[in-house]
Amino acid sequence: MTSFRASALAWMIIAGGGLMVAVADDGGRPSYPKTPRIPVTDVYHGVEVVDPYRWLEDVKDPKVRAWAESQTKLTRSILDAYAGRPELVATLRKMYDYQTTSTPTVRGHRYFFTRKEGLKNQPIVYVREGAADAEPRLLLDPNTLAADGTVALDWMFPAPDGALLAYGTSANGSEMSTLRVLDVATGKPLPDEITRTRACTVAWEPGQKAFWYVRYAAKGTVPPGDEMYNRKIYRHVLGSDPETDVMMFGAGRPKTDWLGVHESEDGKYAIIRSSIDWIKNDLYLKKLGDDSPIVPLAVGLEGHVDAHIFEGKVVILTNVGKPRRHVLVTDVDHLDPKDWKEIIPEGEGVIESVEIADRKLAVLRSTKAVSSLSIHNLDGGKVRDLALPMLGHAAGLEAAWDRPELFYSFQSYVFPPAVYAHQVDTGATRIIDRATARVDSDAYELTQVEYASKDGTRVPMFILKRKGLVLDGNAPTLLYGYGGFDISLTPNYDPDIRIWLDRGGVYAVANLRGGGELGREWHAAGRLGKKQNVFDDFIAAAEYLIKEKYTNPGRLAIEGGSNGGLLVSACMTQRPDLYRAVLCAVPLCDMLRYHKFSIAQLWIPEYGSSDSAEAFAWLKTYSPYQNVKPGTAYPATMLLTGESDTRVEPMHAFKMAARLQDESSSNRPILLRVEMKAGHGAGKPLAKRIEEDADKWTFLFQQLGMNGAH
């Protein structure tokens, strides 16, 4: 976080019981920067809506930048006044100073993985030769690309024989990748360099002389603003000019079509994935290395479809007709869905992924966001279940289809990640990498409860606390949620959550509708016109924590980011009495205009658009920015955004902060934190993450009356 000089506002530090709280010199409302109201009236389907802060949408305007800087000065003056913040930063540095690795990607005789090393800003790419536990060799260190760590590795795709590595990097959290190719044996770059490859995927051709990849349109070739859309698939021959690359797929398709491509397990086919909706996709197939046509594999089906191909067999994972997914098999000569044969039926848990290892199937399931893992024969018969250490999350399944080793990772909130190698042929399992973080997992207690939402729907929730904590209704409690885009909130290791737990805090994660925790129907129940269900679920989670004597409204905070920022800002405007503090990161707040910015047209299938009269009716009822009501006592709120965010425009946080500051009757602070040289969060340097975490905990300690001492 870039520091600014303190604002002209004089602040007094009041000490009481060890708690340091910054308050305005009159003991009351903070003196916010002046924010002119310049009303603009829009008419949506005959309804007038006034927007008083439209001018804040142009975040590159010098006036807006000056306003944002003045907001940051205010925020810093409050947070930096907390005497315990330096010690907090030091503690966070210790907690983040550990080593952990990803599961390895197997290509030829090489194993590629990334490793987070201590306090280095970015993970480093390593390769092992011959065995998964051989001595690693450094291949690519993004930390050398920028002194401040603001150049990040976005993605990487090794060639099938492991000789080459295609990878993308971007600066300042922009996610606007440049594709490059590395010779793995020498570590030297090839001359190939391709821009406009955000969120790229790659399919290597046999022989590794060419690859298929995803690229965006050049500026000037599409209407202004559409450069953020129009993903197409191209073919690049190594050593050739990228501007002469031939488009292989995407001509004439909708500009919001989200395309991806990867080679099949046996390297013979390119599998093309296409989607313009978050609930379904199409798959196409192309034999690589010849002039055969692209053929449909699964097109026009009502659901998600994924495929794995080896030895002429096609293994299909889909939720078409089965909300929690099932597994089917066919062959490359019989792609018609009528020929697909079910081998693993839908069960209680959601099948998250399937990986091919030693011609068998590794099947990862999630039951209410808790993982289980099993091995099956190609006829679907179960070989064995794999024992997992505790209530937690397995992920990152990796294998070669003709080798017996299956790799996966496991972690939980206070169980640092470990990477496992399971021998599919013998059943033996060993740990090949374990995070070096030192955590006494036995000191904490993780439970999963269910509570009733407003309409009676039972919603699962994780609750984490120190063992022995007395529940008397007074514990400071942080409730986290997301609830959207079929994304599941699982028990992932969080290095700094112990700062909260060790000070008597309770941490709760609600698995709201709109997510994927209970399958496709769970997602459908929280999207489009049913989005209010998500807010009702979150509000009910807060009420449960109060009813069950975990906390009370004066000691309850809520947190969410991105779609979760929409969640907490909507719940704050609907039930401001229920929370003491709100952490609202990179949020969507103006839901009547969100689709006019950046890549947000991609989200219309999830939210709807105010261009539609039907969608306008439901968006207007919950859009946080439009539902801030004058004279309401809103909770203390910190809105966080990044100046380089190319997903959710900073204008959402800007406008929401301005409106809350102007219209809240509460003396509780409304703060805006703008991170320089950072975006939505991907690739953020560790140094910036630590400073941001310090600010979040400082804010919560100040607002919930915690002295920060163990």
Choose the final residue of a domain: 217, 245, 263: 263
60: number of Cβ within 10 Å: 7
Q: Please tell me whether residues 493 and 599 are part of one structural domain.
A: yes
CA triple 127-133-135, angle to 5 deg: 55
132 and 69 in one domain? no
Q: Can you read off the two tokens belonging to residue 174?
A: 């922009």
Residue 39 lies in a domain: no
Would 323 be classed as within a structural domain? no
Contacts of 616 (CB under 8 A, 6+ apart): 44, 45, 47, 592, 610
- Counting the structural domains of the chain, the total is 2
Q: Are residues 194 and 58 in the same domain?
A: no
CA distances, 319 to each of 272, 301, 346 (Å): 18, 10, 9
Q: Would you state the pLDDT for residue 22? A: 31
Last residue of a domain, one of 263, 286, 321: 263
383 assigned to some structural domain: no
Handedness of CA 654, 656, 662, 664 (dihedral sign): negative
**Residue segments in the chain with a per-residue pLDDT below the cut of 50:** 1-27, 708-710
State the burial class of residue 2 (Cβ atoms within 10 Å of its Cβ: 0-12, 13-18, 19+). middle
What tokens appear for 138 in the block? 């450094």
Distances (CA, A) of 342 to 202, 311, 385, 531: 30, 19, 20, 33
Assigned domain for 296 exists: no
Q: What is the per-residue pLDDT for 707?
A: 67
| pLDDT at residue number 334 | 93
Residue 312 lies in a domain: no
Q: What is the CATH number of the domain that holds 239?
A: 2.130.10.120
CATH number at residue 589: 3.40.50.1820
Tell me how far apart the alpha carbons of residues 622 and 627 are, in angstroms, rounded to a whole number. 7
Q: Do residue 84 and residue 173 come from a single domain?
A: no
Query: Looking at the domain assignment, is residue 402 inside a domain?
Result: no
Within this chain, do residues 84 and 114 fall inside the same structural domain, yes or no?
no
Same domain as 565, residue 497? yes
Task: Please work out, in degrees rounded to the nearest 5, the angle formed at the alpha carbon of residue 425 by the alpha carbons of 420 and 427.
Answer: 50
With respect to residue 499, please indicate whether it lies within any of the assigned structural domains: yes
Kindly report the CA angle at 271 between 270 and 277, in degrees rounded to 5?
Answer: 145
Verify that 233 and 115 share a domain, yes or no.
yes
Residue 577: name the closest of 633, 529, 506 by CA. Answer: 633
Burial class (CB in 10 A: 0-12, 13-18, 19+), 522: buried
Which residues fall within 8 angstroms of residue 234, CB to CB, at 6 or more apart? 212, 213, 214, 215, 245, 246, 247, 248
In whole angstroms, what is the distance from residue 498 CA to residue 505 CA? Answer: 9
Please give the model's pTM, rounded to 2 decimal places: 0.94
CA distance 597 to 15: 45
**Side-chain-facing half-sphere of 642: CA atoms under 13 Å:** 26
Are residues 211 and 82 part of one domain?
A: no
Is residue 112 domain-shared with residue 219, that is, in the same domain? yes
Nearest to 452 by CA among 530, 528, 510, 392: 510
| Three-state SS at 64 | helix
Domain that holds residue 583: 44-94+441-704
Q: Which amino acids are annotated catalytic?
A: 562, 680
User: Residues 61, 168: one domain?
Assistant: no
- Tell me, yes or no, whether 83 and 121 share the same domain: no
Residues 689, 555: one domain? yes
User: Angle 531-537-539 (CA atoms, 0-180°, nearest 5)?
Assistant: 110
Residue 153 lies in a domain: yes
- Domain finish residue from 229, 263, 297: 263
Rounded Cα gap, residues 615 and 636, in angstroms: 31
